[in-house]
A and B are shown apart, each in its own frame.
Chain A
């Protein structure tokens, strides 16, 4: 089954304790992205990656890091989480221009609800 998986689905942590949220897709997509969703603000892009070893900042990258060492995985790293990073996080993937897309329908993972105390 084609899917995007995220782990963990729920996480409660404390300020300053480093954490990683994993994201994996099995559709051979080159494009992957992280979003955070907050009430009234919609989906805001944190980072995206057009291919392995190619990453770029989205609209709200402060306080986050990503890496793309393999095509299927795109982990999100919070080196020193703060309460304002409490949010619902989504990973998404799609074909990239190099893969011949004419439109980039994004497939979203189930989400990770993060609470930073």
Chain B
């Protein structure tokens, strides 16, 4: 079942912070985060495998709340290069090798 992402779109000024949420109605084995810049292929950011786990990538980090079946991606002190569409992908505990992607969150960072 496709995860839900919120917000659908967000506009930030450089230096501002943002949070993107991803939630599922199913028990999750893992959550994956990808970023896709305009006209390019999605690129892997990070994966979270355990409930409560937090990972970091530059100034981008994420958390995974297994009980709530949701994950959040945190972008701090945003840079122009962070603009793009962010996808979460979820793998359910009953089919952990199959990742289903959410509809994406469009993030625009302006000067």
Question: How many of chain B's residues have a CB under 8 angstroms from any CB in A?
Answer: 21
Contacts of B97 in A (CB 8 A): 31, 50, 96-97, 104
Contact with B along A25-48 (1 / 0, CB 8 A): 000000100010000111111001
Report the minimal beta-carbon distance from B92 to chain A, rounded to whole angstroms: 13
A109 CA to B100 CA, complexed, in Å: 18
Number of contacts between A and B (CB, 8 Å)? 50
**For A106, what are the chain B residues with a Cβ–Cβ distance below 8 Å?**
32, 34, 42, 44, 99
Residue of B32, B40, B97 with most partner-chain A CB within 10 A: B97
CB distance from A106 to the nearest CB of B (A): 7
A residues contacting the other copy or chain, number (CB 8 A): 25
| Complex contacts, A97 vs chain B, CB 8 Å | 97
- From residue 17 to 56 of chain B, which have CB atoms closer than 8 A to chain A? 30, 32, 34, 40-44, 47, 49
Q: Which residues of B contact A90 (CB under 8 A)?
A: 41-42
Chain A residues near B34 (CB, 8 Å)? 106
Query: B84 in the interface, Cβ–Cβ < 8 Å?
Result: no
Q: Are A42 and B101 in contact, CB atoms less than 8 angstroms apart?
A: yes
Given A102-B49, A103-B49, A105-B47; A44-B41 close (CB under 8 Å): no
Question: What are 23 pairs between A and B in contact, CB < 8 Å?
Answer: A31-B97, A40-B103, A41-B103, A42-B2, A42-B102, A42-B104, A43-B87, A45-B98, A45-B100, A50-B97, A59-B100, A90-B42, A96-B97, A102-B49, A103-B30, A104-B97, A105-B47, A106-B34, A106-B42, A107-B44, A108-B42, A110-B40, A110-B41
Q: Top 7 closest A-B pairs, CB basis?
A: A108-B41, A43-B101, A42-B103, A103-B47, A105-B44, A42-B101, A42-B104
